[in-house]
């Protein structure tokens, strides 16, 4: 088994670090600095978008955080990070919502792009406020997004919610805070933060 993780410690790769730690599978990390290292031909052969993260598992390339989370949950079923096949409706639905509409809404808001009511019909996320309401409706009072069992959806959508609060694009509230504390207290989440924090000075925003 070979599993290689391409990342930068100050990137969306933190989502995949957490996911990898949740699987318990051994993996090798390749850090790429922003700039030349990420844009060189070797990495372009793995991700023609020249963006991190990416994984290569037994020769198979997976890019896009949402896809990597889904892939790893299926590749390591013993970790129990995906619900049984017959119960995956909400799992797929909200993973795709977070990866598509929510990502676009959040990035546009951060860039100061505001869509008019007319344009919002064409925008996959409609309006930022509505997309935010839907995202926050996933946050449970107790347990996890899909019920009693933690899943890859908590890693992925939970990371988006945590970042949006930290970057100031959405307000914190007690219920969301309690949920974030709960998922971030997991040993795998803590290990992931430690590993990426330790690599930040050397690889973080330093450009090659
Ligand atoms: N849609 C991609 C986004 C990946 C992405 O934008 N990565 C950023 C870091 S968070 C990156 O590699 N930027 C480097 C660049 O564009 O030069 C995903 O979900 O994995």
Distance 141 CA to ligand 1 centre (A): 31
Per-residue pLDDT averaged across 142-168, rounded?
Answer: 96
Identify the CATH assignment for 3-80+189-203 out of 3.30.390.30, 3.30.420.40, 3.40.30.10, 3.40.50.150: 3.40.30.10
Domain ranges of the chain: 3-80+189-203, 85-186
In tens, the pLDDT along 66-109 reads: 999 999 999 999 999 999 999 999 999 999 999 999 999 999 99
What are the pocket residues of ligand 1 if the criterion is a CB atom closer than 6 Å to any ligand atom?
11-12, 34, 38, 51-53, 64-65
pTM score of the predicted model = 0.97
Ligand 1 pocket: which of 14, 51, 52, 66 to mutate (most atoms within 8 A of CB):
51
First-to-last CA distance in the chain?
31
Residue nearest atom 13 in ligand 1 by C-alpha distance = 51
Asked if domains 3-80+189-203 and 85-186 share a fold, the reply is no
In tens, the pLDDT along 25-63 reads: 999 999 999 999 999 999 999 999 999 999 999 999 999
Distance 131 CA to ligand 1 centre (A): 21
- Residue 100 pLDDT: 98
Residue nearest atom 14 in ligand 1 by C-alpha distance = 51
Cα–Cα dist 166/177, whole Å: 11
Architecture of domain 85-186: Up-down Bundle (1.20)
- Residue 207 pLDDT: 84
């Amino acid at each position: 088994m070979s599993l290689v993780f391409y990342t930068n410690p100050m990137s969306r790769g933190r989502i995949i670090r957490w996911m990898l730690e949740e699987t318990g599978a051994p993996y090798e990390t390749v850090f790429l600095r922003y700039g030349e290292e990420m844009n060189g031909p070797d990495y372009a052969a793995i991700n023609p978008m020249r963006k991190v993260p990416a994984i290569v598992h037994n020769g198979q390339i997976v890019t896009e955080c949402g896809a990597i989370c889904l892939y790893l949950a299926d590749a390591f079923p013993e970790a129990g990070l995906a619900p049984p096949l017959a119960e995956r409706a909400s799992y797929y639905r909200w993973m795709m919502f977070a990866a598509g509409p929510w990502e676009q809404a959040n990035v546009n808001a951060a860039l100061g792009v505001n869509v008019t009511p007319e344009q919002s019909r064409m925008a996959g996320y409609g309006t930022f406020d509505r997309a935010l309401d839907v995202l926050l409706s996933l946050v449970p009072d107790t347990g996890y997004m899909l019920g009693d069992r933690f899943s890859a959806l908590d890693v992925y959508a939970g990371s988006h919610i945590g970042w949006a609060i930290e970057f100031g694009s959405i307000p914190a509230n007690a219920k969301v805070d309690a949920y974030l504390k709960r998922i971030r207290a997991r040993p795998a989440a803590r290990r992931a933060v430690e590993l990426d924090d330790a690599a930040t000075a050397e690889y973080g925003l330093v450009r090659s």
